[in-house]
Structure 1
Amino acid sequence: MEPGAPGLLCLCLCLCLAGVLLAPGCRGAQGRFAYKLLHDLFANYSSALRPVEDTDRALNVTLQVTLSQIIDMDERNQVLTSYLWVRQAWLDAHLTWDKDDYGGIDSIRIPSSYVWRPDIILYNNADEHFGGSMETNVVLRSDGHIMWDSPAITKSSCKVDVSYFPFDGQRCRLTFGSWTYNGNQIDLRNRLDTGDLTDFVENVEWEVLGMPATRNVITYGCCSEPYPDVTYTLLLRRRASFYIFNLLLPCIMVSFLAPLGFYLPADSGEKVSLGVTVLLALTVFQLLVAESMPPSESVPLIGKYYIATMTMITASTALTIFIMNVHHCGPGARPVPPWARRLILHHMARLCCVYEVGESCKSPQRAPGGRGSRGDAGGPWESPGEGGVGAEAGGCPRDHCPCHHDALLRNVGYIAGCFRRHRANQRRTGDWKKVAKVMDRFFMWIFFLMVFLMSVLVLGNAA
């Protein structure tokens, strides 16, 4: 070991030991200065008085609101529940110090209950417990400026307009102001022209378009002094995808089933049942919408669509009952009137492409009331009283036939008359069935067009 090495080693050990012993002392000095500062500041301080040197001057208070999350929007009760960060800043003239006298301490954090705080509340609060901000610490600087950041879950009243639900937008206002101090005592101002949305958590139902802030000075009827407030207007737009896929599209698809009731054969017995089933399904959807909407005079757009569709289905079911009555006209019914034959069986049948077996839309139709074939007229028997023609065809004159030939001809004439009456009844019944079929096809296209136009109208109003 070189000479002088043990002394150098001892010196290093002493310096290290001194550093270990002095460091806690330095930190302890800062703690003692902070304790002394707290004691000196609040020795003669009262948090009940407004901290101004001149009581005739107003205290400037700045407000900044940060929207963190939209928790819930209760349309039925018209209440918006949101999570906010509220920052208030003001100057306390009684809480200043020289930082050089207290070890360079420039700011301290103390409980907010130690200092005077402005009674800024949410004017349109809808919370039954009227909860305020949390009791968080305030940051106190050496020049007397105080900054108080506190989170708050607020329930505010919001006028909800559901006229265009589910394609609606809402404007919810959050109005902050002092409850007891007027504008001559506290001058409340907004720090920024808009609410802070940098830390906003996206909501699954609502899209935030903006949050502008405005300062208002209002003189209320109870008092002659002006009261300033800061109002944040939360601009919301509903995300309509959920309601489109769960309420609107099922309604449109069910609505297109209603005209198909006219396409069902009348003998199936399910025409009226289909209309009633569709009407009940739409009633269920209507009740689901009504449960979430406020009971107001403003009917939502989707509610109007449901009502119009249910009215259309009710009319289609009533028409179906009438057409089924026409279809089941028996042999005792009157013949089809000439105007109905000309209008329905001729013009409307060609318009709706209703044709019989073996015909098509482009094939020429028979004249209204014409006979389809000679066989329809009763075959070889023209009339009960024209038995002589048949007898002459048989080569036996009536005057020279035996007596039993007369009885035979009478029986044949009776059978021919029954056959002709039966064919006439069948023809009359077939005409009424064709009238019912043409009316079914005509109203089917009419109601298809109505459903399409209503759907386009609803989507157009939503846009």
Structure 2
Amino acid sequence: MLPQHRSAGYWGSLGRSLAAPSAAAPPAPLWVPAGCQGAQGRFAYKLLHDLFANYTSALRPVEDTERALNVTLQVTLSQIIDMDERNQVLTTYLWVRQAWLDAHLAWDKDTYGGIDSIRIPSSYVWRPDIILYNNADDRFGGSMETNVVLRSDGLIMWDSPAITKSSCKVDVSYFPFDGQRCRLTFGSWTYNGNQIDLHNRLDTADLTDFVENVEWEVLGMPATRNVITYGCCSEPYPDVTYTLLLRRRASFYVFNLLLPCIMVSFLAPLGFYLPADSGEKVSLGVTVLLALTVFQLLVAESMPPSESVPLIGKYYIATMTMITASTALTIFIMNIHHCGPGARPVPPWARRLILHHMARLCCVYEVGESCKSPQRVLGERADGGDAVGLGESPGEGEVGAEARGCPRDRCLCHHDGLLRNVGYIAGCFRRHRAAQRRTGEWKKVAKVMDRFFMWVFFLMVFLMSVLVLGQSA
């Protein structure tokens, strides 16, 4: 797209100044000699010579030096080239239009063949030293040296493209669902408000020729005029500040950073579902923790080192804390699962709370049972087992009966040594069964705790994901 002065108005003025004859003079006949057709060119050359014969571009072009020169500024945003969040630098491509009235460059267009406007290099005329105050470019380059449009009444319009790098305070608290407000402040560097009175032509920047950016959506670019008195000087300095309102397009970050984190987070509670004898429960938690650490480093590399933690960073930290807690609980539960034969019996309160209420809540039953089958009374197995365990073994009972029924003088079973050996074997068998029963109860306690914490952590992951999406909305 071309600037405004290069559209229909440009060609109209160019035709009037260089091709069309004066409005007061009749059209030239076809039989006029060819040398007379260059009269407009000679008028333009004479005009340029007369205007700049005693002109200097070093002084402010006003008749009264006590009066301020009015300068209007208009900015057209063409493209957002880059937004460096880490260094907090915004790179944009702008068209800057400045207009002012030069009292020394006015002429009577009838005297010069009806020439109403000319285009000359901008270095020929005086130009206001309007720069970008918050420039962040190390080379500090200004606008391109383009021509200016000089009208017969002394009005000068200077349109120049410029690639600017401006400092922008980046707030990443809601990254990747954040919005930014970047300010571009234009003002004169040496002329104060008593010498140059700077105004914005419109209340907003021109966005009609803006090229859409793949990462940022432009919501607007309002303009405001400010008059500031700096500490160095007592005179006021006017400036025009354009506030670029941006909103990040979050689709890229959602699919590449947020969704993988959510899916990895849902793997952490499944570590409680793994059988304790598999040996992979702790390995799964550590692997998920390392994966989230990699995602956290990717986010940290692109964010500025500020105190405000981005929203996705908070989600990563909360998820990593949850996975660390789940890994620690897994180690604790595995210690309960692998209780040896010398473990103490399950306390009565744990038997009631865990093996009765929590087991029914989490649907943890013995082999062959399910949520639909009637639950056996907890004390039944223990009482029955104790009855069998505390009583004599079948072999011992038969041997004892045989010993009681066998006459002492006819059978050798009554020997005291044999009875002691049989009693020792029966006692070992009873102790082994009691140790197995205690180990099985502790394993069931560990299984119930695994299932309970699995559902608790699933709920925590779901709530954290909903909170992140809710804050982004």
- TM value normalised by structure 2: 0.89
- Give the CA deviation at 1:373: 8.6
Q: Answer yes or no: is the 8 Å Cα contact 1:169–1:237 preserved in 2.
A: yes
Instruction: Give me the whole-angstrom Cα distance separating, in 2, the residues matched to 1:459 and 1:262.
Output: 26
Q: Answer yes or no: is the 8 Å Cα contact 1:195–1:211 preserved in 2.
A: yes
- Give the CA deviation at 1:420: 1.8
| Deviation string, structure 1 residues 211-245 (Cα, Å, up to 9, x no partner) | 00001111111111111110000000000000000
- Give the CA deviation at 1:396: 3.3
Instruction: Give me the whole-angstrom Cα distance separating, in 1, the residues matched to 2:355 and 2:312.
Output: 40
- SS of alignment partner, residue 291 of structure 1: helix
Q: Answer yes or no: is the 8 Å Cα contact 1:378–1:423 preserved in 2.
A: no
Q: Answer yes or no: is the 8 Å Cα contact 1:263–1:440 preserved in 2.
A: yes
| Deviation string, structure 1 residues 144-170 (Cα, Å, up to 9, x no partner) | 100000000000010100000000000
Q: Answer yes or no: is the 8 Å Cα contact 2:79–2:211 preserved in 1.
A: yes
Instruction: Give me the whole-angstrom Cα distance separating, in 1, the residues matched to 2:413 and 2:235.
Output: 128
Instruction: Give me the whole-angstrom Cα distance separating, in 1, the residues matched to 2:33 and 2:455.
Output: 93
Percent of paired sites with the same residue? 92
The farther-off stretch of 389-398 and 216-225 is 389-398
Instruction: Give me the whole-angstrom Cα distance separating, in 2, the residues matched to 1:351 and 1:154.
Output: 64
Instruction: Give me the whole-angstrom Cα distance separating, in 1, the residues matched to 2:308 and 2:81.
Output: 25
| Deviation string, structure 1 residues 13-34 (Cα, Å, up to 9, x no partner) | xxxxxxxxx4743442111111
Instruction: Give me the whole-angstrom Cα distance separating, in 2, the residues matched to 1:4 and 1:279.
Output: 86
| Deviation string, structure 1 residues 367-419 (Cα, Å, up to 9, x no partner) | 33432695775489626997588416985367874456665554443333222
Instruction: Give me the whole-angstrom Cα distance separating, in 2, the residues matched to 1:86 and 1:447.
Output: 57
Instruction: Give me the whole-angstrom Cα distance separating, in 1, the residues matched to 2:344 and 2:82.
Output: 67
Instruction: Give me the whole-angstrom Cα distance separating, in 2, the residues matched to 1:326 and 1:44.
Output: 100
The farther-off stretch of 175-184 and 404-413 is 404-413
Q: Answer yes or no: is the 8 Å Cα contact 2:77–2:205 preserved in 1.
A: yes
Instruction: Give me the whole-angstrom Cα distance separating, in 2, the residues matched to 1:227 and 1:5.
Output: 53
Instruction: Give me the whole-angstrom Cα distance separating, in 2, the residues matched to 1:315 and 1:174.
Output: 47
- Classify 1:219/1:401 alpha carbon distance in 2 versus 1 (closer, same or farther; 3 Å): same
Q: Which runs of 5+ in 1 are unaligned?
A: 7-21
- Give the CA deviation at 1:195: 0.3
- Classify 1:369/1:116 alpha carbon distance in 2 versus 1 (closer, same or farther; 3 Å): same
- SS of alignment partner, residue 369 of structure 1: helix
Instruction: Give me the whole-angstrom Cα distance separating, in 1, the residues matched to 2:203 and 2:390.
Output: 101
Q: Answer yes or no: is the 8 Å Cα contact 2:389–2:433 preserved in 1.
A: no
Q: Answer yes or no: is the 8 Å Cα contact 2:225–2:239 preserved in 1.
A: yes
Q: Answer yes or no: is the 8 Å Cα contact 2:408–2:414 preserved in 1.
A: no
The farther-off stretch of 28-37 and 148-157 is 28-37
Instruction: Give me the whole-angstrom Cα distance separating, in 1, the residues matched to 2:335 and 2:387.
Output: 28
- Give the CA deviation at 1:56: 1.1
| Deviation string, structure 1 residues 50-101 (Cα, Å, up to 9, x no partner) | 1111111111100000000000011111110000000000101100111111
- Give the CA deviation at 1:341: 0.9
- TM value normalised by structure 1: 0.91
The farther-off stretch of 275-284 and 367-376 is 367-376
- Classify 1:394/1:365 alpha carbon distance in 2 versus 1 (closer, same or farther; 3 Å): farther
- Classify 1:393/1:29 alpha carbon distance in 2 versus 1 (closer, same or farther; 3 Å): farther
Instruction: Give me the whole-angstrom Cα distance separating, in 1, the residues matched to 2:408 and 2:309.
Output: 85
- Classify 1:117/1:395 alpha carbon distance in 2 versus 1 (closer, same or farther; 3 Å): same
- Classify 1:209/1:392 alpha carbon distance in 2 versus 1 (closer, same or farther; 3 Å): same
Instruction: Give me the whole-angstrom Cα distance separating, in 2, the residues matched to 1:217 and 1:4.
Output: 53
The number of aligned residues is 446
Q: Answer yes or no: is the 8 Å Cα contact 1:76–1:292 preserved in 2.
A: yes
Q: Answer yes or no: is the 8 Å Cα contact 2:396–2:422 preserved in 1.
A: no
- SS of alignment partner, residue 266 of structure 2: helix
- Give the CA deviation at 1:364: 3.3
- Classify 1:340/1:379 alpha carbon distance in 2 versus 1 (closer, same or farther; 3 Å): closer
Instruction: Give me the whole-angstrom Cα distance separating, in 1, the residues matched to 2:390 and 2:342.
Output: 26
- Give the CA deviation at 1:451: 0.5
Instruction: Give me the whole-angstrom Cα distance separating, in 2, the residues matched to 1:401 and 1:314.
Output: 69
Q: Which runs of 5+ in 2 are unaligned?
A: 1-25
The farther-off stretch of 372-381 and 34-43 is 372-381
Instruction: Give me the whole-angstrom Cα distance separating, in 1, the residues matched to 2:372 and 2:27.
Output: 127
- SS of alignment partner, residue 63 of structure 1: strand
- Classify 1:302/1:380 alpha carbon distance in 2 versus 1 (closer, same or farther; 3 Å): closer
| Deviation string, structure 1 residues 94-128 (Cα, Å, up to 9, x no partner) | 00111111111111000000000000000111111
State the match for 2:419 in structure 1. Answer: 409
Instruction: Give me the whole-angstrom Cα distance separating, in 2, the residues matched to 1:285 and 1:23.
Output: 80
- Classify 1:304/1:33 alpha carbon distance in 2 versus 1 (closer, same or farther; 3 Å): same
- Classify 1:271/1:219 alpha carbon distance in 2 versus 1 (closer, same or farther; 3 Å): same
Instruction: Give me the whole-angstrom Cα distance separating, in 1, the residues matched to 2:206 and 2:258.
Output: 35
Instruction: Give me the whole-angstrom Cα distance separating, in 1, the residues matched to 2:447 and 2:151.
Output: 90
Instruction: Give me the whole-angstrom Cα distance separating, in 1, the residues matched to 2:283 and 2:409.
Output: 65
Work out whether 1:95 is the aligned partner of 2:105: yes
- Classify 1:375/1:169 alpha carbon distance in 2 versus 1 (closer, same or farther; 3 Å): closer
